[in-house]
Structure 1
Amino acid sequence: MKRRILLVEDNARLAGMLQTFLESLGHEVRSLADAEGALLLLGQEKIDLLVLDLKLGAMNGVELLQRVRRNPELKELPVIIMTGVFRGEGYARAAAKLGVKAYLEKPFGKEAFLEAVKGALAPPPVKRELFSMLLDLYHNGKSGVLQLGGGTRVVLLAGEPASFSSPRFVPFLVAEGHLLRSDLEKYPLSRPGKLPLCEAGLLSYDELQEQSRLFLSRILIEAVLQNQPPQFLPDLGAIEPPLTPLCLPRLLHQAAKQGSDRFAAGSFLEKAAPLYPLRTQQYYRLANLLGLGPEEIGILEQLGQGKKVREIFVPGGTARQAWFLDFLVRMGMVNLALEPGEDLDTGFPQKMLFNRPIEEVVEVEVQAMSFDDLVDEVSDSIDLAVGDTGMAAPLSASEIDFEQEVQRDYAAIQNKNYYEIFGLTQGNFSFASLKDSYFSKTRQYSPEKFMQLSGDTLSRAQDVLSHYANAYNTLSSVIAKERYDEMLNANVIGLAGRQDDALQARIQFQSGKVFLEMEDYNNAERALQDAYTLDAQDSQTSAYLAWSIYKNPANHGSQVALEKCRMLLSKSLQMGRSAEAFAFRGWMLLDEGRDGLAEGEFQKALKLNPQEQHALGGMRLIRERREAEKKGLFKRIFG
C-alpha cells in the first residue's frame, strides 16, 4: 500500500539514498533538510510516517518531535528516529515515551531500516489489552507465568505478581548504581538466578528483595504503558526466589497515573460528559487497596451526587484528572449510567474506607472523666467482692495507716501555693528538688493502695494527687512557672484555691504541652483535660487535648478515644484554624495509611505556620516513604 512519508535529514547524500529506497518500495516521499519546513508541511499535508534525524539546524529533531506531539492532529503520527549523536538505551526509552516507533543509531543497515518502516506503517495488531488481561487474572485468582518482552517472565500467584526472572535485572542494578561491573567480573555468579548475588556478597538479602520489588513494578508498569502483547501460561514452572509480591490494583493505578500525560482527556470527556458515574460493589472491594492523593479523593467525593461527568470535570480545572475516572471505569469500580441513580451497597461488612474525604465530626460536648468513670469502664472485667461496709474484709493496719496518711496529705495542701506544697519557695526553687519532692510524695499512692480506698477518703486521695500533678506540671514548665510567679506576685492567685479560671486554664495548658514534649502522655492528658474543663472554647486546648489522648498508649485500640480525638480536632478548627490542629489531624490520617489526605492537612498547617514541627515531621516521613520507592513505583520509567 502506497504511503506518504516525510523524510527530514540534513545529510543530502544519506537523504537521497533513503528517499530512493523508500520510493522503490512504492511510497511517496517528501524530503526536507530543516525542521521548520517540516513543521510547516505537516500542517498542510497528510503524512503517514515521519522519518526524522535528531541533529538538524536551528530547530533540532527533538524540538520538532515535541511540537508534533503537542498538536492534537499529529499526536498519533508514526515516527522513526535516526541519530548518530544521541546514542544509548536512555535516549531510546525517552523517545519511546513520545511515541517513537523505532530508534535507529547511525550507521544502520538496509534490513534494519526496512524493518523499522514496515513496523511503523503496519496497522496495530488486534490484541487483547494487557491492562484488562491482568485485571481478569486478578479477579479470577489465576496462577501462572506472564511472558513479557526481552525474555522476562513474571510469576502470578492467585492473580498477583509474586516473582520474576529476567536478563534485564542485573543491567538494571548496574544502571541504578547497586552493582559495579568490575565486581561482577571479579566475582562472577556461580549459577543463574538472583540469589547468587547474595551468595557472592554483592547484595544483602534485604537489598535484593527491595530492588527486585522495584524492578518488578517498573517492568510491569512499562509493559502496561506500552501495552505489550500479553502471553499467559497457566503452568507455573520454576519460581525464582526471592518472592516479591505486589498489589496488582495499586500497580495498575500507578501505571494509569504515570500514563496520564498521554491520556486523551478531551475525547474521553466528550463521550462521557452526559453520563452519571455510580459506584459498583467492586469499588468497595478495591478502594482500600489504592493509595490516592487529595485530587483523586476530591473526585471520589463527587461520585453518586447526581452529577454528570461534565459537572465534575470542568475545563482547565479537574479536567486533567479525567484519567482517574477512566481508570475507575476500567477497573469496574464505577459505571457510567444514562440516568442518575444510587451507588450500590458494599455487599459485605466494611468498617472503614481509607480513601475517603475527611469527615467533619458533629460536635458533642466532652465531659471530664473522673476516677469513678475509669472504674465503671473496667468494672465488667473485675470481680469486686463488696461487703456491707463497702469492703470485702476489715481494713488491715497498713490500710488504716494509708487512710490516715491521705487525710494528713489532704490537710497539708490546704491554703498552700504550689511551692509550699513541695516545701519550696521561689528563692530556693530547683528542678532537682522539685522532682525529688514530687516523687517522694506520690510514690506511696500505689495503684494497689489506691484501689483499697472508698468514699470520702478516695475523693480526697484524688484531690491530693490532682494538686500534686497540677503543681508539678506548672513548676516543671519554664513558661508556666514564670506565668505562675507573675500571678503570685500580683496576688491574682491567692490561697485556699481562689483562682481565676482562665489563667489557671492557661497554666494547665502549658503544663500539658511540657508533658507532651516529655512523652509523659498520662500527665499530659490529665493537665489538658483540666485546661479544657476550665476553658472549653479555646481552640488550642481542644487540639492539644486531642493529640494527648491520641498519643496516650492507654487509649490505643479504643474507638471511643479515637472518635473523641476527631471531634476535638473538628471543634478546634471550627473555633479557629490552627496549624497544630491541621498537623495533628494529618498524623492521624497518616497512621491510617491515608498519605494523600495527610499530606493535604500538613500543607494546610505549613501554610499557617511554615515552622510547625509536627507538620514538618509528617511531610518528612511522606518524602522518605516516596524516596524509598522512587526507583520503581514512583519513578518515571523513561527518565
Structure 2
Amino acid sequence: MTGSILLVEDNEKLAAMLRTVLEGRGHQVKGAASGDAALALLQAQRFDLMVLDLKLPGMSGVELLQRVRRSAALKELPVVIMTGVFRGEEYARAAGKLGVKAYLEKPFGKDDFLKAVQGALEQGPARKDIARLLLDLYRSGANGMLELRGGARIFVVGGEPASFSSPSFVPFLVSTSHLQRGDLEQYPPARPGRLPLVEAGLIGYDDLLEQSRLFLFRSLVEALLQNQSPRFTADLAGIELPLTPVSVPRLLHHAAGAASFDLAPYLARCGALCPVRSTEYFRLVNLLNMGPEEVDLLQQLGQGKTVQAILSTCDAPAQGAALIDLMVRLGMLNLSAAPVADQQPDFPQKLLFNRPIEEVAERRAEAVNFEDLVDEVSESIELVVGKKGMAAPLSASEIDFEQEVQRDYAAIQNKNYYEIFGMTPGTFSFATLKEAYFAKTREYSPEKFMQLSGDTLGRAQDVLSHYANAYNTLSSVIAKERYDEMLNADTVGLGGKREDELQARIQFQSGKVFLEMEDYGNAERALQDAYTLDPDDAQTSAYLAWSIYRNPGNQRSQGALEKCRMLLSKSLQAERNADAFAFRGCMLLDEGRDGLAEGEFLKALKLNPHQPQAQGGMRLIKERREAEKKGLFKRIFG
C-alpha cells in the first residue's frame, strides 16, 4: 500500500536518496531537515507515516517524538526510526514504548528500509485515515467498531456503517426540536441507548430511525472532513438498535462534494493520464446520486481523453477532479498512460441511472397499407355506432356514395360544431346531438369505405374525423363550456386553418381538464387530437407526453415511453417551457435519477415558480435526502 510520508532527515544526500526510493514505490513524500520544520508540517497536514532521524539540529528526534506522542491528533502516527548514534536493544525497546514500529540502525539496506516502511503503513485499519479505512472495510465486508472523536462508536456490519452509540445523540435531538429538555427531566429513559427514548414515549420509532440515520451520516461526514484516523476493532459487542445502515460509496461521494480539493498537485500527478471504466464502475455507479454536471463529466470517459482535457470543460474543475479521484479510489476508474477501451459490466444491467437525458428524435410516419387502413377505420366506426346496427350491404341506392362524401365534405366547411348537426347553442340538447350524430355516421360503414380510393377516401376520413371531434366536444360538458367560450370570443366564420386552431385549443383545454380529473385515457385522446391539429405547439406536445406517461395502459410499453421522450424533446426545442421540464423531471425521478430530475425541476421553477409537478418533485427529493443531508452541511460549516 502507498501513503503520505514525512521524511525527517538533515543529511541532504541521504534524504534525496530515500525520497527517490519512496516515490519510486508510489508514496507521496515531504521532507524536513529539522525537528521544528517537521513539527510545523505535522500541524499543517496529515501524514500516514513519519520516517525520523533521531540526531537533528535544534530540536532532537527524541524530543520531536515525545511531542508527537503527547499530541491527541498525532499520538497514533506510525513512526520508523533511523539512527547512527543511538544503537542497541535498549534504545530500540525504549522507542517501542513510544509507538515506534521499526528501529533502523545506519547503515541499513534498501530492502530493510522498504520492509520497515511497508510494515509500519500496514498496521491495520486502526492506523488509516477514515476514508481509506471505510473503503477497506467496505471491500472486505468486515464487522467491527470504529471509535471516533468525542466518544462516538460506529458499528460496521458487512462492511457498511449500520449503527452507533454516541453521547452527542440526545443533544442532537434536542437541538433539532425532536426532544424537549423538560420531557427528558420528567420522563428520563430507564436505561442507556436509543430505543429507551421510544419506550418512554419521547420520540416515535419512525422518527428515531430517521434521525439516527441522519446523525450517523452527519457524524461520518464530519469525521471525513476532519480527516480523522479512528481506531477499528473487530468486535460488535454492545451494538445498539435500531440499525440504520449507510452506503459507503454514497457517503464518500457526499463528503467529496463538500471537502476542498487541491487541484494543482492532482493535475501534476494525474493530468496526463486517461480515466477508463472498470467493471466495478457498473456495480457502484447506480449507488451514487449525481447532478447534471457530474453526469456530463462521466460522458467524456472512454473517449481517449486525459484527465486534464476532461477537467478543462468543467465549470468547477476542482469538483470534477474530486469526483474522478473518488471513483479511482473506489475502483470504478483506472488511470492509464495511454487510451484503452472501457471494460463492460460482467452482470446483467437494465439501466444506468447516472446517464444523460435521452433526446429522442421524432420518427417519420411509416407507410400504412390498405388492410391497416381498413382495420383502423373499422375500429373508429365501431367506437361511433357500436357493433350492432351497422349498415346493411350496399344497395343500388348507395352506389353514389362518393358523391355523398363530396357533398358532406363541402357541407362541413365554414360551419361550427352546432351547425354541423343542425343546431345552435340555444337549441342544443344531448338527445338531439346523439340522434344527429348516429344518423350521419351510419352512412360511413366499413363496406362503403372499401369502395373509396384516392382523394375521396381522404375526404371521407376527414368528414368522419370532423363528426367525431364535434360529437366529443359537444357531448362533454367541460369541453362544450370551453367551446362556447371560444365561439363567443370568435364570432366570425370558422373554417380551414382557423377551424384547426380553434379545435386544437378546445382539445388541449379538454385534455388538461381530464388530466386534473386523473382520467388519463380521455386526456390522451383529447391531447392527441390537439397535437394532430397543431403538432408544433410546445404546450400540446408536453401535455400529450404527460398524458401518455400517466396512462396506466401505457406502463408496459417501451414505445409509449420513447414517444413521451420524443414529445418532451420536441416541446423544449420549440420553446423552453416549465411544464416540459417538470414532466421530464418526474420521469427521471421515477427512474431513480434524482440528480438529473432535480436539475429539470429547477429549470421548471426558474420559468414558473408555481409549477405543481416541479414543486412536488422537489419536495419528494428533499424527503428522500432528508435522512442523509437535512441540515447536514449547514451544521458542519456553521
TM-score between the two structures when normalised by the length of structure 2: 0.66
For the residue of structure 1 that corresponds to 2:389, the secondary structure is: helix
Superposition map of 1:234-273 within 5 A? 234-259=234-259, 261=260, 263-273=261-271
How far apart are residue 360 of structure 1 and its match?
Answer: 1.6
The answer to whether the 8 A contact 2:68-2:74 is kept is no
| Alpha-carbon distance in 1 for matches of 2:267, 2:255 | 20
| Alpha-carbon distance in 2 for matches of 1:477, 1:300 | 52
Structure 2 counterpart of 1:110: none
Letter of the 1:540 counterpart: Q
Which of 380, 390, 403 is matched with 2:388 structurally?
Answer: 403
- Between 611-620 and 125-134, the greater mean CA deviation after superposition: 611-620
| Alpha-carbon distance in 1 for matches of 2:191, 2:421 | 74
| Alpha-carbon distance in 1 for matches of 2:487, 2:44 | 74
Letter of the 2:388 counterpart: E
Q: Deviations over 1:513-539 (max 9, x none)?
A: 232233221111001111222333333
For the residue of structure 1 that corresponds to 2:188, the secondary structure is: coil
For the residue of structure 2 that corresponds to 1:302, the secondary structure is: coil
Structure 2 counterpart of 1:600: 599
5+ residue gaps, structure 2, are: 1-7, 9-35, 47-66, 79-120, 122-126, 377-384, 393-410, 439-444, 450-460
How far apart are residue 220 of structure 1 and its match?
Answer: 1.8
The answer to whether the 8 A contact 2:213-2:628 is kept is no
The answer to whether the 8 A contact 2:213-2:627 is kept is no
Letter of the 1:568 counterpart: L
Structure 2 counterpart of 1:277: 275
Structure 2 counterpart of 1:476: 479
Letter of the 2:558 counterpart: Q
The answer to whether the 8 A contact 1:532-1:542 is kept is yes
Structure 1 counterpart of 2:154: 154
How far apart are residue 490 of structure 1 and its match?
Answer: 2.0
What percentage of aligned pairs have identical amino acids?
56
- The structure-2 alpha-carbon separation of the partners of 1:480 and 1:283, relative to structure 1 and needing over 3 Å to count, comes to farther
- Between 564-573 and 279-288, the greater mean CA deviation after superposition: 564-573
Q: Deviations over 1:82-140 (max 9, x none)?
A: xxxxxxxxxxxxxxxxxxxxxxxxxxxxxxxx899745787944532322222232233
5+ residue gaps, structure 1, are: 4-45, 51-72, 79-113, 378-399, 408-413, 445-452
How far apart are residue 150 of structure 1 and its match?
Answer: 3.8
Structure 1 counterpart of 2:493: 491
- Between 344-353 and 235-244, the greater mean CA deviation after superposition: 235-244
| Alpha-carbon distance in 1 for matches of 2:592, 2:345 | 21
| Alpha-carbon distance in 2 for matches of 1:118, 1:159 | 30
- The structure-2 alpha-carbon separation of the partners of 1:251 and 1:404, relative to structure 1 and needing over 3 Å to count, comes to same
How far apart are residue 214 of structure 1 and its match?
Answer: 0.8
| Alpha-carbon distance in 2 for matches of 1:308, 1:214 | 38
The reply on whether 1:562 has 2:564 as its aligned counterpart is no
- Between 200-209 and 244-253, the greater mean CA deviation after superposition: 244-253
| Alpha-carbon distance in 1 for matches of 2:367, 2:529 | 8
How far apart are residue 493 of structure 1 and its match?
Answer: 4.3
For the residue of structure 2 that corresponds to 1:183, the secondary structure is: helix
Larger Rg: 2
For the residue of structure 1 that corresponds to 2:218, the secondary structure is: helix
The reply on whether 1:177 has 2:177 as its aligned counterpart is yes
The answer to whether the 8 A contact 1:406-1:461 is kept is no
| Alpha-carbon distance in 2 for matches of 1:614, 1:212 | 30
The answer to whether the 8 A contact 2:146-2:232 is kept is yes
The answer to whether the 8 A contact 2:416-2:494 is kept is no
Structure 2 counterpart of 1:509: 508
- The structure-2 alpha-carbon separation of the partners of 1:534 and 1:286, relative to structure 1 and needing over 3 Å to count, comes to same
For the residue of structure 2 that corresponds to 1:156, the secondary structure is: strand
Structure 1 counterpart of 2:397: none
Corresponding residue pairs, total: 492
| Alpha-carbon distance in 2 for matches of 1:607, 1:517 | 23
Superposition map of 1:43-54 within 5 A? none
Structure 2 counterpart of 1:295: 293
TM-score between the two structures when normalised by the length of structure 1: 0.66
The answer to whether the 8 A contact 2:479-2:507 is kept is no
How far apart are residue 628 of structure 1 and its match?
Answer: 6.1
For the residue of structure 1 that corresponds to 2:614, the secondary structure is: helix
The reply on whether 1:320 has 2:318 as its aligned counterpart is yes
| Alpha-carbon distance in 2 for matches of 1:303, 1:569 | 27
The answer to whether the 8 A contact 1:603-1:615 is kept is yes
For the residue of structure 2 that corresponds to 1:403, the secondary structure is: coil
Structure 2 counterpart of 1:63: none
Superposition map of 1:230-629 within 5 A? 230-259=230-259, 261=260, 263-314=261-312, 317-321=315-319, 322-365=321-364, 403-404=388-389, 418-419=417-418, 425-427=424-426, 467-472=470-475, 476=479, 479-486=482-489, 489-493=491-495, 500-610=499-609, 612-623=611-622, 625-626=624-625, 629=628
Superposition map of 1:113-262 within 5 A? 118-119=71-72, 124-125=77-78, 127-259=127-259, 261=260
Letter of the 1:277 counterpart: P
How far apart are residue 633 of structure 1 and its match?
Answer: 5.3
For the residue of structure 1 that corresponds to 2:161, the secondary structure is: strand
- The structure-2 alpha-carbon separation of the partners of 1:569 and 1:158, relative to structure 1 and needing over 3 Å to count, comes to same
| Alpha-carbon distance in 1 for matches of 2:488, 2:388 | 33
- The structure-2 alpha-carbon separation of the partners of 1:123 and 1:634, relative to structure 1 and needing over 3 Å to count, comes to closer
| Alpha-carbon distance in 2 for matches of 1:590, 1:142 | 33
How far apart are residue 508 of structure 1 and its match?
Answer: 1.9
- Between 249-258 and 475-484, the greater mean CA deviation after superposition: 475-484
Q: Deviations over 1:494-526 (max 9, x none)?
A: 9xxx98434423332232223223322111100
The answer to whether the 8 A contact 1:586-1:601 is kept is yes
Letter of the 1:492 counterpart: L
Letter of the 2:187 counterpart: Y
Alignment RMSD, CA only? 4.5
How far apart are residue 155 of structure 1 and its match?
Answer: 2.7
| Alpha-carbon distance in 2 for matches of 1:464, 1:403 | 20
